[in-house]
Structures are given as structure tokens and as C-alpha cells.
Amino acid sequence: AQKITQTQPGMFVQEKEAVTLDCTYDTSDPSYGLFWYKQPSSGEMIFLIYQGSYDQQNATEGRYSLNFQKARKSANLVISASQLGDSAMYFCAMREDNQGGKLIFGQGTELSVKP
């Protein structure tokens, strides 16, 4: 079974609008971390935001926020005020703390920001 599911292969958003990228996960480990990474066409992986399973509040980093709904096992990324430079692949990933620290990635969502 897929541990991390990103159901949107591609998304379009108008510049300056907000966009939500979906991510659901599956784990029985009570202690885990959820990450979002951005991958531009150059291939580098850029860390955006982190949410721990015991964190009470949703994580925020500048224009990025993570909508963490633990009971629904979802960790959606919200990008506010989209910019042209936000066009890239976005990956959701999970680390299960009892599984050796390895990150498991979703299939990714390709975001295109239109001017």
C-alpha cells in the first residue's frame, strides 16, 4: 500500500492566488514527521516545511503553511500569493521514527503558476 499519496499530478494557479497541494499518508507509527520539498527543473530538492506528529499547531514558513489533519491523515501544503518562481514539482514525504529515519516520498505534484 502507498504510504504517501499525492493525487494531483499537475496543478495550475494564477499568479498571486493561493493554492493547496494535497497529501495523505498511511502509518501505524505514533511518532512521525511530514515534510514538503520543492524540486525545480534543475533537480535540486529544496526543503519547505516540516510537521511533527505531536505538534499541536500547523506549521508555517513564510508563504508556506501545512494544513495538518491528523485524524484524516492528511498534510496538505498551502502556498499563499503564488509567484512565477513557485512553478516546480512538489513532493510530500514522511519519516516514521521507528523505521530508521528514512524518508518516503509521494509521486509529486507539478505546479504551474500562470502570469
For the bound state, the minimum distance from the C-beta of residue 64 to other proteins, rounded and expressed in Å, comes to 14
Which residues, listed in sequence order, are joined to residue 68 by a DSSP beta bridge? 75
Under the binding rule (CB under 8 A), the answer on residue 101 touching other proteins is yes
CA distance 91 to 34: 11
Under the binding rule (CB under 8 A), the answer on residue 38 touching other proteins is no
Check residue 16 and report its DSSP letter: T
Task: Name which of 95, 100, 82 is nearest 36 in CA terms.
Answer: 95
Which residues, listed in sequence order, are joined to residue 50 by a DSSP beta bridge? 35
For the bound state, the minimum distance from the C-beta of residue 35 to other proteins, rounded and expressed in Å, comes to 5
Q: Which of residues 45-74 bind other proteins (CB under 8 A)?
A: 45, 47, 50, 52
Contacting residues toward other proteins, per CB under 8 A? 4, 6, 9, 33, 35, 42-45, 47, 50, 52, 91, 93, 95, 97, 100-108
